[in-house]
């Protein structure tokens, strides 16, 4: 469930690929069984394509990477975090529009 430029973040690579990233990172916390997650997935993939070279966009499957989900207190999915310099810049919960996602990323760049 990822587009051409959408990354997969896991417990194993989150520190290096997200927290130590030199560019802002949009992280979509999702699960296969979550209808709203599947609904927003293609939009996240579009944002990934739009921000190539300016930001990273990826997904964390909360069923496979529980450690990261617990660390960030993810209680509802989809939850989207924009992380800049290892810190949460924006937190969005639930279905949001592409405009909201791009605005959140733009504000971090």
* Residue 29 · residue 11 · CB < 8 Å: no
CA distance 46 to 41: 9
What residues act catalytically?
34, 37
Domain harbouring 67, CATH code: 3.40.30.10
Largest CA distance in the chain: 32
Instruction: Assess if residue 27 is contained within a domain.
Output: yes
pLDDT band at 69 (very low <50, low <70, confident <90, very high): very high
pLDDT at 2: 62
**How many residues would you count in the chain?**
109
For 5-59, how does the pLDDT look when each residue is reduced to its tens digit (9 = 90+)?
999 999 999 999 999 999 999 999 999 999 999 999 999 999 999 999 999 999 9
Number of domains in the chain: 1
Residue 12 lies in a domain: yes
Assess if residue 2 is contained within a domain. no
Q: Which helix (H) or strand (E) holds 56?
A: strand 56-61
Q: Which domain holds residue 60?
A: 7-108
């Amino acid at each position: 469930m990822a587009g051409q430029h959408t990354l997969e973040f896991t417990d194993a690579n989150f520190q290096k690929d997200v927290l130590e990233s030199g560019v802002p990172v949009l992280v979509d916390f999702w699960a296969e069984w979550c209808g709203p997650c599947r609904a927003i997935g293609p939009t996240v993939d579009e944002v990934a394509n739009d921000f190539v070279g300016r930001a990273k966009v990826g997904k964390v499957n909360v069923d496979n990477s529980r450690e990261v989900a617990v660390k960030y207190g993810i209680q509802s999915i989809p939850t989207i975090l924009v992380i800049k310099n290892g810190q949460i810049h924006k937190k969005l919960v639930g279905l949001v529009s592409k405009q909201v996602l791009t605005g959140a990323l733009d504000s971090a760049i």
